[in-house]
Chains A and B, each alone.
Chain A
Amino acid sequence: MTRALEAEGVAIIARDLTRRFGTFTACDRISFDVRAGEVFGFLGANGAGKTTAIRMLTGLLLPTSGQATVAGHDVYTESEAIKRHIGYMSQRFSLYEDLTVTENVRLYGGIYDLDNRQIRDRTAAMLSRLGLTRAARDLVRDIPLGWRQKLAFSVALLHEPRIVFLDEPTSGVDPITRRQFWELIYEAASSGTTVFVTTHYMDEAEYCDRISIMVAGRIGAIGTPSELKQQFGAHSIDDVFVRLARPVQESPRP
């Protein structure tokens, strides 16, 4: 069934995906599809279960129950295959600061089994696209944070994964860099990469093709931004989010 869906252009399928830690249910029977090539926003307050869901989908954590396939591979049995077909970038910075730009790219290229030529060609292309060619031999710690963030994203895409998971990629970045970062996300999506992105910023949610909002371990709403606004009679995703979250959160946002 799932392989057929994949053929129809579904990148991620989750059905009743559940993860319990002891008596606490971090993810409670969540179900959704992510279509190939779309930018899928995965929203939710801190502790709503986003990270647990991402960890299950990236093969870092086994679900307690439910099904999921990522790029057509089962999360229970084929996590190695999944890992080969996804890219990942977390809120915490994932490049080595004491290596140069080129060395970082080489390292990740090797980890994802690119040959020397592929690495060389893709590095050159990537650096010129980012305007970082002159900084190729600089240590990552010496280049500005915004550049590092963009570089980390490009490195996550180096092996041309089918799906890229971005876990709050823009937290702590200035608005201009955030804007530029989203341009990179669109670029990736337009070349066919599925983008699965979590974010705190509600304005960013508006940039997504579709979004889901997690509340207390469940999916509270899912759809395109305009559908959700309509459904909740709200002016912005921010409103939608607050309405969804209010009943469960003890103290509403200040």
Chain B
Amino acid sequence: MNARRISLTALRGLLIKETYHILRDRRTLVVITLLPILQVILFGYAIRTDVRRVRLAIVDPTPDHTTLALRARFAATDAFHVVAVVAEAADLDPMFKRGMAQEAVVFDPSFAQSLGRGLPARVLVITDATEPNAGSIAQSYALSVIDGYERELRAASSAIRSREIVVPGALIVPEVRMQFNPTRESSNLFVPGLMAFVLTIISSLMTAISLTREKETGTMEALLVSPLRPWQIIVGKVAPYLVVGFLSVLGVIVEARVIFHVPVHGSATLLLGEGLLFILVSLSLGILISAQTTSQRVAMFAALVGTMLPTLLLSGFIFPLESMPWALQAISYIVPARWFVTVARGIMLKGIGLAYLWRETMVLAAMALVLLVLSTRSFHERLE
């Protein structure tokens, strides 16, 4: 009873002290709260490259004023750069292979005729999906141009309909095909991965640096000689940074929604909670790193390498895990971001909840626990 009181008073002191550290180091505070948001913008746009001026080939076997009108629309938008207009679909293949064209719009030979008769007019959009992300964006651009044209036609025809009776069916029926990579990936898939990426780096850095700083200045020695227990020192470090991390998660989610229009189909509260759990794992990783090192520089380097590369390569964030050799897949199981990316994508894009994500959540919780126990142990080992 008495011992519990002791630990709580001491712990409160530690928490207050750490809060002062964070608040007084304004520059670092600004960096650690704004950096994730800036990084997401930077990476987000870096990954969304080349959606401007998509090289477009048009196959128009039977030019007519309707196909010309649609072609003019493609030419007018900044998103496309019409590189060729040919008469036969067979001409497309070499263009795709040489990379001359990234996308093609193929009019059905009876396009104009069908449209004139009020029958469905067919048009095919073929997209080079070697870059799945850029590919799917280019595809949706093309569809929206076609869609816009169709709506205009509809408006015109209903204006006519009010005077004479015409029967308008579906006017234009676009079909899509992905060249080279038939499963299309949405750009949305990147943002959850990006969240994992920036949050894990910043969190592990925060604790790794702040603990090794105490080792360098000598205050750690004073704490170790005091009656404080290792777990108190660790909780005193982790808890305040958890708050900072929470602000980062919040910022990044809002940013994903506002700037990148990534929806949150599932529960936002769950997403925040999972984000917090993931941050806890990263903070604990930082603690473990700092328990093994003595200088801030080494700790910083270890935290960067230990989080950045695995998260970039083995989380499924950019490179699909399914196509990796089994050895790398096996390693990916110990990368926390791998689990968080699944969780974040599940909640944001599929709208699923804990019923489907409990396994990933358990893994993350277990990782946090193991890392915290290991770091407490390595504090004890200093005493042996």
Task: Give me the interface of A with B, judged by CB distance under 8 Å.
Answer: 58-62, 79-80, 83-84, 86, 88-99, 103, 106-113, 115, 165
Chain B min CB distance to A85 (Å): 9
How many residues on B have C-beta within 8 angstroms of the other chain's C-beta atoms? 27
Say whether chain A's binding surface is mostly helix, strand, loop, or mixed. Answer: loop
Across the two chains, which residue of chain A brings its CB closest to B25?
A: A98
Given contacts A60-B382, A61-B383, A113-B227, contact A107 B21 (CB under 8 A): no
Chain B min CB distance to A73 (Å): 12
Flag B208-237 by CB within 8 Å of A: 1 or 0 each.
000000000111011111111000000000
Say whether chain B's binding surface is mostly helix, strand, loop, or mixed. Answer: helix
Given contacts A111-B223, A112-B226, contact A98 B12 (CB under 8 A): no
Across the two chains, which residue of chain B brings its CB closest to A81?
A: B227
Task: Give me the interface of B with A, judged by CB distance under 8 Å.
Answer: 5-6, 9-10, 12-14, 16-17, 20-21, 24-25, 217-219, 221-228, 382-384
Cβ-defined contact, A59 with B9, below 8 A: no
For B383, what are the chain A residues with a Cβ–Cβ distance below 8 Å? 59-62, 79
Cβ-defined contact, A111 with B226, below 8 A: yes
Further contacts, 4 of them, CB under 8 A, given A62-B384, A94-B221, A99-B20: A92-B221, A96-B17, A103-B20, A107-B14
For A107, what are the chain B residues with a Cβ–Cβ distance below 8 Å? 13-14, 16-17
Ordered nearest first, which 7 A-B pairs have the shortest CB separation?
A92-B218, A110-B13, A94-B222, A88-B225, A83-B227, A113-B6, A111-B10
Cα–Cα, bound, A106→B17 (Å): 9
Across the two chains, which residue of chain B brings its CB closest to A93?
A: B218
Cβ-defined contact, B219 with A96, below 8 A: yes
Across the two chains, which residue of chain B brings its CB closest to A85?
A: B227
Cβ-defined contact, B226 with A58, below 8 A: no
For A95, what are the chain B residues with a Cβ–Cβ distance below 8 Å? 219
Give 9 pairs: A residue, B residue, CB < 8 Å, sorted on A: A83-B226, A83-B227, A89-B222, A93-B217, A96-B21, A98-B21, A106-B16, A111-B226, A113-B227
Across the two chains, which residue of chain A brings its CB closest to B214?
A: A96
Cα–Cα, bound, A213→B372 (Å): 42
Cα–Cα, bound, A58→B17 (Å): 24
Cβ-defined contact, B14 with A111, below 8 A: yes
